[in-house]
């Protein structure tokens, strides 16, 4: 039996998972709408054992959330953009304030604090270029702590994977 350590994002404490857990996690990433019985059969354990393992993975924070993956284009969200944002102030409160503000915006899919010339990398999904311009004006250009931002527009996605390589 091989065991791996996955890290819970918030605590960064390792969570030990074995081969059965990894197989369950791979299956759940492919389709989390199957029955516990079907999952159990696929990984070779009983249904109660399977359910107990899934609950333990949730409790440990390995499984953070169950969600449906939607097609943005079919919902009129046709422009994906990355924005590098540099701040004037780098104090902990200033950085936390910017991060909190971005987390509250529905068009910001991801907000990552990064190292390098920029302080944050945002992934923004909007209807079109005009909508991105409105977003940038309202949330970046008008923020007195934003020193600069640079937009990178996605022409075509060649891979959009949400499964972790476990």
pLDDT of residue 15: 85
Look up the pTM and report it.
Answer: 0.83
Mean pLDDT of 105-131: 97
Contacts of 73 (CB under 8 A, 6+ apart): none
| Residue 162 pLDDT grade (very low, low, confident, very high; cuts 50, 70, 90) | confident
Mean pLDDT of 52-80: 94
What the chain holds in terms of domains, given with CATH numbers, is 4-59 (1.10.10.10), 73-153 (3.30.70.920)
pLDDT of residue 12: 66
Query: Are 120 and 98 a contacting pair, CB within 8 Å?
Result: yes
Separation in Å, CA 98 to CA 74, 91, 141: 31, 11, 13
The answer to whether residue 10 scores a pLDDT higher than 70 is no
Query: Are 22 and 166 a contacting pair, CB within 8 Å?
Result: yes
pLDDT of residue 11: 57
**Coil, strand or helix at 25:** helix
pLDDT of residue 4: 47
Query: What's CA 71's distance to the chain center, in Å?
Result: 16
């Amino acid at each position: 039996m091989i065991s791996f350590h996955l890290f819970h994002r918030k605590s960064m404490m390792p969570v030990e998972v074995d081969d059965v857990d990894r197989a369950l996690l791979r299956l759940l990433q492919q389709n989390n709408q199957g029955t516990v019985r079907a999952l159990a059969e696929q990984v070779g354990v009983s249904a109660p054992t399977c359910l107990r393992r899934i609950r333990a993975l949730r409790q440990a924070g390995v499984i953070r959330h169950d969600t449906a993956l939607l097609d943005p284009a079919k919902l009129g969200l046709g422009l994906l953009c990355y924005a590098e944002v540099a701040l004037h102030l780098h104090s902990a409160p200033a950085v936390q304030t910017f991060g909190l503000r971005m987390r509250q915006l529905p068009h910001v899919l991801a907000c990552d604090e990064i190292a390098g010339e920029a302080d944050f990398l945002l992934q923004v999904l909007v209807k079109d270029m005009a909508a991105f311009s409105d977003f940038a004006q309202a949330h970046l250009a008008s923020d007195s702590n934003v020193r600069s931002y640079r937009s990178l527009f996605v022409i075509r996605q060649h891979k959009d994977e949400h499964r972790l390589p476990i």
